[in-house]
Chain A
């Protein structure tokens, strides 16, 4: 579990995170949602240790990040997998080399063991005929699968995803969402996803944290979203006509 307590972060005069307190549960897909500029990327980067906090603490299964020394922080980073918005695959490497990179860097596995593990995760994310291709030679959806495979190859305890289905068609987006959820449950990972895709929220949002102007405005599950009276989240989620209809239908069904 990742616990966030009174986290504050400013850039110059601008206060981006204003006393965020929440937790992200193990074995669940935790979603951070909010409008552009609400502070969700800053929160995700703070969780990853990329941004130094002004105040507050972030703890990973009881280990407070700011209290760790450099070796402990490096150790923690080997327990983290990250899927970046643009996949962030290394251009000069093939798909296999990209996926095997964390193992080559941090494990004592020999090349045969690395190959076996890489083949296993390639199968797990259902990548077909892409082993020796470069990232530029595969589709956006496949790149996301490679990014997920690279993120889980080292058996991470924590998986972070920044807009994992941005730029993908709706069908592929659902496949990627489901893949992340399956992996989270299968390996009991604490997964935190940063998104503003409402389909993802409805599909895999086991815990949802809603940020508005740097403040935690609401948190709950995808089921609770249908029933909540919180104006901020209702206004955000049901800004589209489609979701307004879904909410009406859901409430009608509940009354019956």
Chain B
């Protein structure tokens, strides 16, 4: 227990240091652009692929479970919208990103630690935490756009599967999308996404930065980072849902 508390304390001390002694802006600009390319643009393909097909699966499964003829077909569109916007896009995609982006961050920073590149930065007088972690946090602030794309493609995938699978007409599906739509649900999803983006940038960085050992430990740190990032996302998801949606 004490060890976990000490790790949490160390994480917050790291965050303090990340915002200290900023790197020269001309250099930071380049680093941010590179991180946007690696972390955000590099994830678009997998996010688009998963969102489209999972949206389709949600629509099909909803349709297959609607055995009662009294239940309207538009429920397929309604269920797809609710699942994708409330949970699938923000939370499920973030867990996938904890594996993709998180392990990339941990292994790249961990390798820099093992090969003394972080020591080299420190010896030169560079605040290595600001240099390495701050651009990732800024880049991940574009993460809500990824989730926006995921929401669109998830619903689009649901529409394709629902309509072309013969489960509902296009009008029925679209009616379902509009039924009892609460705009705050989208706001809630994006608030969650911003929090998850911060966790996705900082927890894997923490595990990479403070790792000790060699190549094997880099692999172990990546796994540990995935586990803890996922745990943090799930916990924050619960807390935010309780705070933002319960009356």
Report A's interface with B, CB cutoff 8 A.
48, 50, 73-75, 77-78, 80, 82, 84-86, 88-92, 101-102, 104-106, 160
- Chain B residues with Cβ below 8 Å from A101 are 124
Please report the C-alpha to C-alpha distance between residue A91 and residue B120 in the assembled complex, in whole angstroms: 13
Of listed B111, B112, B122, B123, residue having the most chain A CB within 10 A: B123
Residues from 77 to 126 in B contacting A, C-beta threshold 8 Å: 111-112, 115-117, 119-120, 122-126
B24 at the interface (CB under 8 A from A): yes
Q: A78-B124, A106-B125 are in contact. Are A88 and B115 (CB under 8 A)?
A: yes
Let me know if B125 and A84 touch, CB within 8 A: no
Let me know if B23 and A105 touch, CB within 8 A: yes
Let me know if A50 and B124 touch, CB within 8 A: no
B245 at the interface (CB under 8 A from A): no
- Chain A residues with Cβ below 8 Å from B123 are 48, 50, 77, 80, 82, 160
B64 at the interface (CB under 8 A from A): no
A68 smallest CB distance to B (angstroms): 12
B27 at the interface (CB under 8 A from A): yes
Q: Nearest residue in A to B24 (C-beta to C-beta)? A: A105
Please report the C-alpha to C-alpha distance between residue A86 and residue B21 in the assembled complex, in whole angstroms: 27
Let me know if A88 and B125 touch, CB within 8 A: no
- Encoded as 1 (CB less than 8 Å from any A CB) or 0, chain B from 17 to 31 comes to 000010110110000
A150 smallest CB distance to B (angstroms): 8
Q: Nearest residue in A to B116 (C-beta to C-beta)? A: A88
A222 smallest CB distance to B (angstroms): 28
Q: Nearest residue in B to A108 (C-beta to C-beta)? A: B24
Please report the C-alpha to C-alpha distance between residue A86 and residue B214 in the assembled complex, in whole angstroms: 13
- Encoded as 1 (CB less than 8 Å from any A CB) or 0, chain B from 114 to 144 comes to 0111011011111000000000000000000
- Chain A residues with Cβ below 8 Å from B23 are 105
- Encoded as 1 (CB less than 8 Å from any A CB) or 0, chain B from 29 to 42 comes to 00000100000000
Let me know if B125 and A86 touch, CB within 8 A: no
Let me know if A85 and B116 touch, CB within 8 A: yes
Please name 15 further chain A to chain B contacts, defined as beta carbons within 8 Å, in addition to the given A82-B120, A89-B117, sorted by A numbering.
A50-B122, A50-B123, A74-B125, A77-B125, A85-B116, A86-B116, A88-B115, A92-B34, A102-B124, A104-B24, A104-B26, A105-B27, A105-B124, A105-B126, A106-B124
B220 smallest CB distance to A (angstroms): 21
Q: Nearest residue in A to B38 (C-beta to C-beta)? A: A92
- Chain A residues with Cβ below 8 Å from B24 are 104-105
